[in-house]
Amino acid sequence: MRKIAALLAAVLLVALALSAVAEGAKAETVDRIMYVNKDSLKVYAKKSKDAKTVKTLKGGAKVTIEDEYDNWFGIYYNDKKGNEKVGYVQSKYLTDKMPQKYCKHSWPDWTTTRSATCAQKGERTRTCTKCGKVETEELKKLAHTYGDWVVQRETTCAEPGLKTRTCTVCGHVNEQEIEQLPHQYGRWVVSQEATCTEEGERWRECDVCGYVQEEAIALEPHEYGSWRILAEPSCTEEGERVRRCVVCGFRDAQVLNKLPHEFGKWTVTRQTSCTAPGEQAHTCAICGTRETEAIEKLPHAFGQWTVTREPTCAAQGSRVRTCSMCGTEQTEALAMLPHDYRWTVTTEATDHSAGVRSSKCTQCGAVQKTESFDPEGTIRKGARGDSVRELQQLLADQGYLTAGGVDGAYGGGTERALMRFQEDQGLTADGVAWPQTLKRLRHDFGDWRTVLVLSRTQDGEFARTCKDCGYEERRTVKAGTAIPRGKRGEDVRVVQRMLNELGFNCGTADGAYGPKLDAAFEAFAAENNLAHASGSVTPEDMDALVEHWLAAMPANQRMGTGGNGSAVRLVLTVTKLESVGDATTYEWKLTNMGTERCRVDALLLGFGEGYDFMQGGMVLDMGGALLQRDGANSATGTFSVNSNWGAGARSFCAVGTSEKTNGTWLSNVRAGD
């Protein structure tokens, strides 16, 4: 028994040891950090290259090891939703150190490994703390540290001196020459005097070294006597004079310029005219030389122009004038006159066909061009502009053209639509909008009549009939629309904010209609005994919400219409557009002329003489538009009001809230019709 017990104890100890070894091996791989050592590495869902690729890692990416397998590593990664998962990569593509190829090195300070001196260069290194890459940099030699200069040879005027200095560190000797001194010359001594025929010489000697400097003395100038005339000059020949040097006898000769002729006055030898030049001459009183000169011809003395043939639009004219001295005639052509073209109708246009006209000269009858012309108001394919847009709208109103075709450009679609209309009307289907066709399109309608009454929740439908052809035109006027659950927008944000301010919590005013808004509105309706169906906010719900919100607002927060300089100053304009049956359509525009930005809470409609929008008022718009300060932008829109919505005069007002102070401001009140 003892042997069996000892054997069991030994087996238990071995098992515990193996378990500890296994746990230790696993602990070594957990949280182990490694790096990708190739440009791109696929992460597989399983330990197989045929498995699905769940992620691709870039070279140098840091990964955390989950476990190590045969030729594979399990690593942690985050999927597209941010959840941590385990994938598998081939172990040969991971290393314990960051590969230098991908490392964005982190360098510590430099470490000097060899100090630089004036005799040798130094060296310093640094090692990347991420990948271990070592950088080495050479340090320049230091400059020599020289002592004072020592003169080795004194300088003289015969040779330069020499001085040296020695580096106190390495013993290097630096030599430098000392500039030679100038000679100390005595006075110049003339060895040969200069004359006007031969240079002289002089010398001087250095008092220190005995060096002799020699120099030539320049020639002396000649000493001339007086000039003697050899030949006097005249107006036909040059003269000459000479002089001699009294020292050496050198002869200097000089030519004397000729004298000018002494001409008398010019004498006309041949008279000038407008047909030939004249001539004049004069004679020198000394030598008899005679000079002649031409006299320029005179210009013709022409009289007035005389027209010999009048010009027309078919031929040139001509005119002539005569010189009174020689009778020479000058002729000049007169340009042809321009044609006087005017349009002449040869075939009159009708309200459904083109005419013909010609551009003809009233003088010679020449025809410039002949063309067809349309009667006034005709519109053809290729035209653009408001008249085309009106034509397209008429076709669209009667169902021959879609609303998208109303673009102001007369193309193939408009032409085909017009041809269908012409065919239905028994007209020639040529696709041209003649006056006859346009008259048929522009029906003579009677008054609008109500087909379906417009209400706060139901669209209205109205009709009118053409007195000529019986065509009936129908128009739908949209009612106030409800805000459905699931909608997003600024109108939803306004509803959320008002409910929150009244104490009915619907969460953050994020502009998204969800269950919290429904629950808050149901609580608001129950407290105020209002009929409300969950899932939407109807126009009646909006009216009640705004009335309670205005009534619950503290007096000090209802700041009234802002004047000049106010934080918010809302300016409202309301313009009547048209009346269709029992409904009137208005266009509104709201601008903030204040000093702070604000949000538009609601556009309100009231009835009666008083402007109490908290009693029976209607909400026309809850768009929540953002208005910049100083009138930088505007909020705009349209709405329709049925005649039976309320008694008395109509009046409109807007409410806005400052983004900065959260104060509420009312606009001016605009009266309707």
Q: How confident is the model at residue 609 (pLDDT cuts 50, 70, 90)?
A: low
Task: Please identify, among 95, 123, 145, the residue that sits at the C-terminal boundary of a domain.
Answer: 95
Coil, strand or helix: which one is 352? coil
**CATH code: domain of residue 72:** 2.30.30.40
Q: What is the pLDDT of residues 160-214, one digit of tens each?
A: 989 999 998 888 899 999 988 899 888 989 889 888 888 889 999 898 888 888 8
- Of 138, 93, 143, the closest CA to residue 113 belongs to 138
pLDDT at residue 508, rounded to an integer: 92
Sign of CA pseudo-dihedral 576, 579, 580, 584: positive
Residue 414 and residue 500 share a domain:
no
Q: Does a structural domain hold residue 562?
A: yes
pLDDT of 493 higher than 60: yes
- The number of distinct structural domains making up the chain is 3
Q: What is the pLDDT of residues 562-588, one digit of tens each?
A: 666 788 899 999 999 888 888 899 999
Q: Which residues on neighbouring strands pair with residue 178, listed in sequence order?
A: 161
- Of 164, 141, 165, the closest CA to residue 152 belongs to 164
Residues 6+ apart with CB under 8 A from 3: none
Distances (CA, A) of 650 to 475, 586, 607, 639, 653: 24, 12, 5, 13, 10
Residue 615 and residue 492 share a domain:
yes
Q: Does a structural domain hold residue 350?
A: no
pLDDT of 673 higher than 80: no
pLDDT at residue 23, rounded to an integer: 43
Task: Please identify, among 65, 95, 125, the residue that sits at the C-terminal boundary of a domain.
Answer: 95
Q: What is the pLDDT of residues 7-48, one digit of tens each?
A: 444 444 444 444 444 444 434 444 799 999 999 999 999 999
Residue 496 and residue 581 share a domain:
yes
Coil, strand or helix: which one is 40? strand
What is the distance between the alpha carbons of residues 591 and 598, in angstroms, rounded to a whole number? 10
Distances (CA, A) of 353 to 327, 424, 431, 436: 68, 19, 12, 9
- Of 197, 202, 201, 203, the closest CA to residue 220 belongs to 197
pLDDT at residue 28, rounded to an integer: 43
Instruction: Specify the DSSP element, H or E, that contains 272.
Output: none
Q: Does a structural domain hold residue 122?
A: no
SS (H, E, C) 487-510: CECHHHHHHHHHHHHCCCCCCCCC
Coil, strand or helix: which one is 2? helix
Q: Does a structural domain hold residue 193?
A: no
**CATH code: domain of residue 545:** 2.60.40.10
Residue 490 and residue 425 share a domain:
no
Q: Does a structural domain hold residue 551?
A: yes
Q: What is the pLDDT of residues 432-486, one digit of tens each?
A: 999 988 888 887 878 888 888 888 778 889 888 888 777 777 888 888 888 999 9
- Of 111, 141, 106, the closest CA to residue 125 belongs to 111
pLDDT at residue 7, rounded to an integer: 46
What is the distance between the alpha carbons of residues 259 and 216, in angstroms, rounded to a whole number? 46
Residue 491 and residue 542 share a domain:
yes
- Which segments of 372-475 does DSSP mark as H helices, in order? 386-397, 412-424, 435-441
Q: Taking residues 394-398, report their average pLDDT.
A: 85
Q: Taking residues 152-166, report their average pLDDT.
A: 90
Q: Does a structural domain hold residue 660?
A: yes
What is the distance between the alpha carbons of residues 350 and 352, in angstroms, rounded to a whole number? 5
Residue 406 and residue 487 share a domain:
no
Residue 622 and residue 498 share a domain:
yes
Q: Taking residues 237-244, report their average pLDDT.
A: 89
Residue 653 and residue 530 share a domain:
yes
At 54, phi and psi to the nearest 5? Answer: -100, -15
What is the distance between the alpha carbons of residues 602 and 619, in angstroms, rounded to a whole number? 7
- The DSSP call for residue 405 is G
Q: What is the pLDDT of residues 625-664, one digit of tens each?
A: 999 999 999 999 888 888 888 777 888 989 999 988 888 8
Q: Taking residues 361-368, report their average pLDDT.
A: 86
Q: What is the domain extent for residue 31?
A: 25-95
Q: What is the pLDDT of residues 83-113, one digit of tens each?
A: 898 999 999 999 988 898 889 888 999 999 9
Sign of CA pseudo-dihedral 644, 646, 648, 652: negative
Task: Please identify, among 50, 74, 95, the residue that sits at the C-terminal boundary of a domain.
Answer: 95
pLDDT at residue 17, rounded to an integer: 45
Instruction: Specify the DSSP element, H or E, that contains 166.
Output: strand 161-166
pLDDT at residue 564, rounded to an integer: 67
At 403, phi and psi to the nearest 5? Answer: -60, -30
Cα atoms in the Cβ-side hemisphere of radius 13 Å centred on 79: 10
> Which residue type, as a one-letter code, is found at position 577?
L
pLDDT at residue 26, rounded to an integer: 39
- Of 274, 330, 326, the closest CA to residue 304 belongs to 330
Coil, strand or helix: which one is 19? helix
Q: Does a structural domain hold residue 226?
A: no
Residue 536 and residue 424 share a domain:
no
**CATH code: domain of residue 420:** 1.10.101.10
Give the alpha-carbon dihedral of 437, 443, 444, 449, to 10 degrees.
170
Q: How confident is the model at residue 560 (pLDDT cuts 50, 70, 90)?
A: low
- Of 332, 338, 327, the closest CA to residue 306 belongs to 332
What is the residue-wise DSSP string for 70-119?
A: TTEEEEEEE-TTS-EEEEEEEGGGEESS--TTT--------EEEE---SS
CB atoms < 10 A from the CB of 286, how many?
14
pLDDT at residue 24, rounded to an integer: 42
Residue 534 and residue 626 share a domain:
yes
Q: Taking residues 349-358, report their average pLDDT.
A: 88
What is the distance between the alpha carbons of residues 268 and 280, in angstroms, rounded to a whole number? 4
Residues 6+ apart with CB under 8 A from 361: 313, 339, 340, 341, 367, 368
pLDDT at residue 573, rounded to an integer: 93
Q: Does a structural domain hold residue 582?
A: yes
Q: Which residues on neighbouring strands pair with residue 293, listed in sequence order?
A: 280
Sign of CA pseudo-dihedral 44, 46, 48, 51: negative
Give the alpha-carbon dihedral of 104, 106, 112, 117, to 10 degrees.
50
pTM above 0.75, yes or no: no
pLDDT of 289 higher than 70: yes
Higher pLDDT pick, 534 / 645:
534
- Of 509, 512, 507, 485, the closest CA to residue 497 belongs to 509
Q: Please count the residues of the chain.
A: 673
Residue 547 and residue 428 share a domain:
no
Percent of the chain with pLDDT over 90: 36
What is the distance between the alpha carbons of residues 615 and 515, in angstroms, rounded to a whole number? 30
What is the distance between the alpha carbons of residues 136 and 111, in angstroms, rounded to a whole number? 10
Residue 632 and residue 505 share a domain:
yes
- Of 358, 362, 414, the closest CA to residue 391 belongs to 414
What is the distance between the alpha carbons of residues 17 and 19, in angstroms, rounded to a whole number? 5
What is the distance between the alpha carbons of residues 88 and 45, in angstroms, rounded to a whole number? 6
pLDDT of 559 higher than 80: no
